[in-house]
């Protein structure tokens, strides 16, 4: 990439997403001049690796964003609400991984394979929002189908990995699993019921309409990214005892007639999609065996819906910490540097 080097801050650097951010920046050879790793006072002073060097974690509260070009925020919505505007005011472009700004009309919500044109709006407030992990893999898989068949309705059930709820959630699932295998009682902490050897039909808080906030994020964000307020989305989000990778059973209804061969060809050539759809034992992708560690959105189990004349069913799997969070944010930052080089120009 023939772009100048920039100063980058990772906010929430000690977390599950922040750790993946560091790895993805390194893997993609992002043109980092100086890297600032930020977290709360709890972790300030700890040292983390980046490109073979130790970088000391600093306290976000005391950090001055002047001189930082791009900040990748993943420390929760409340932290973004407090600190992202002051980073932007200091001339830094913020790519925010939380739900804090996603629904604001003047903040672009971007998946580079789907709506890169929206990035132009970064200049409005100096903030670009990264969608929720479940939305990202859904829209990457559905974009080529929406372009051809015009989707009118999406029914989706998710099977979401515990790493989507952070480090403590992974620890809790593993501790419960160990305890149960040893014949001991499993204590609940983060989840209201046991997650080990179970499936929990609640992610995030309940809203007045009986859906959870995670479910409504998929409704709001899909409409905004597709620029289509008419598209109807009906999600059920479920937490399952998988460490990395979300899976989704997706059922779409379309305006135009659906041709399976055309759908398959569209998915096979779509950016960011790997079609893994063979009608034999194991001819489909899974979170643990295919998605974990990959940046791709895997699609399988493609078939015409026997209950609807213009319906199509598919199975969509992706790594929630990579394409669902860190990789998408870094891809946004790469595009900002390439296509909007004045973004966060602090150098």
Where does this chain bind ligand 3JM (CB under 6 A)? 76-78, 98-99, 132, 164, 217
Measured from the CB atom, the residue of 9 and 162 that comes closer to ligand 3JM is: 162
Please state the closest distance from residue 328 (CB atom) to ligand 3JM, in A.
11
* Chain center to CA of 3: 26
The option from ligand NAP, ligand 3JM, none interacting with 91 (CB < 5 to 8 A, set by class) reads none
Counting beta carbons within 10 angstroms of the beta carbon of residue 40, is it exposed (0 to 12), middle (13 to 18) or buried (19 or more)? middle
> Binding marks (x or -) toward ligand NAP, 226..265, rule CB under 6 A?
----------------------------------------
Measured from the CB atom, the residue of 92 and 133 that comes closer to ligand NAP is: 133
Residue of 9, 25, 35, 60 interacting with ligand NAP (CB under 6 A):
60
Respond yes or no: is residue 246 known to be catalytic: yes
Please state the closest distance from residue 338 (CB atom) to ligand 3JM, in A.
25
- The two three-digit tokens of residue 40, written as one number: 């709360």
Respond yes or no: is residue 133 known to be catalytic: yes
- The two three-digit tokens of residue 244, written as one number: 């990395």
Task: Give the DSSP letter of residue 62.
Answer: G
Gap between the Cα atoms of 139 and 231, Å rounded: 12
Measured from the CB atom, the residue of 68 and 98 that comes closer to ligand 3JM is: 98
Task: Select from 72-80, 145-153, 199-207, 265-273 the region that touches ligand NAP (CB under 6 A).
Answer: 72-80
Residue 320's closest CA among 171, 166, 161, 203? 161
Residue 210: CB partners within 8 Å, gap ≥ 6? Answer: none
The option from ligand NAP, ligand 3JM, none interacting with 35 (CB < 5 to 8 A, set by class) reads none
Please state the closest distance from residue 273 (CB atom) to ligand NAP, in A.
19
- The two three-digit tokens of residue 273, written as one number: 């999609």
Residue 6: CB partners within 8 Å, gap ≥ 6? Answer: 31, 32, 33, 69, 70, 337, 344, 346, 347
């Amino acid at each position: 990439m023939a772009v100048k080097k920039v100063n980058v801050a990772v906010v929430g650097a000690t977390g599950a997403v922040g750790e993946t951010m560091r790895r993805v920046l390194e893997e993609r050879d992002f043109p980092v001049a100086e890297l600032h790793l930020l977290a709360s006072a709890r972790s300030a002073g700890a040292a983390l690796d980046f490109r073979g060097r130790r970088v000391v974690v600093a306290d976000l509260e005391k950090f001055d964003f002047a001189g930082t070009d791009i900040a990748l925020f993943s420390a929760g919505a409340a932290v973004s609400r407090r600190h992202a505007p002051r980073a932007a005011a200091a001339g830094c472009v913020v790519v925010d991984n939380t739900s804090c700004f996603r629904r604001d009309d003047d903040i672009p919500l971007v998946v580079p394979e789907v709506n890169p044109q929206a990035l132009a709006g970064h200049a409005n407030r100096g903030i670009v929002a990264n969608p929720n992990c479940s939305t990202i893999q859904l829209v990457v898989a559905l974009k080529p189908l929406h372009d051809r068949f015009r989707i009118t309705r999406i029914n989706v059930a998710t099977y979401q990995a515990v790493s989507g709820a952070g480090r403590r959630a992974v620890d809790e699932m593993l501790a419960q699993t160990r305890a149960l295998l040893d014949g001991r009682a499993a204590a609940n902490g983060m989840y209201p019921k046991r997650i080990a050897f179970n499936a929990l039909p609640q992610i995030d808080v309940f809203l007045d309409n009986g859906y959870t906030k995670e479910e409504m994020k998929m409704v709001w964000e899909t409409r905004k990214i597709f620029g289509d307020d008419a598209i109807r989305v009906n999600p059920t989000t479920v937490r399952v005892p998988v460490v990395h990778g979300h899976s989704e059973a997706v059922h779409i209804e379309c305006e135009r007639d659906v041709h399976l061969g055309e759908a398959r060809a569209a998915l096979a050539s779509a950016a960011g999609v790997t079609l893994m759809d063979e009608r034999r034992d194991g001819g489909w992708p899974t979170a643990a065996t295919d998605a974990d560690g990959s940046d791709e959105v895997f699609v399988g189990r493609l078939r015409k819906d026997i209950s609807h004349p213009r319906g199509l069913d598919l199975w969509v799997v992706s790594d929630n910490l990579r394409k669902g969070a860190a990789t998408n944010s870094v891809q946004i930052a790469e595009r900002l540097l390439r296509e909007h080089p004045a973004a966060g120009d602090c150098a």
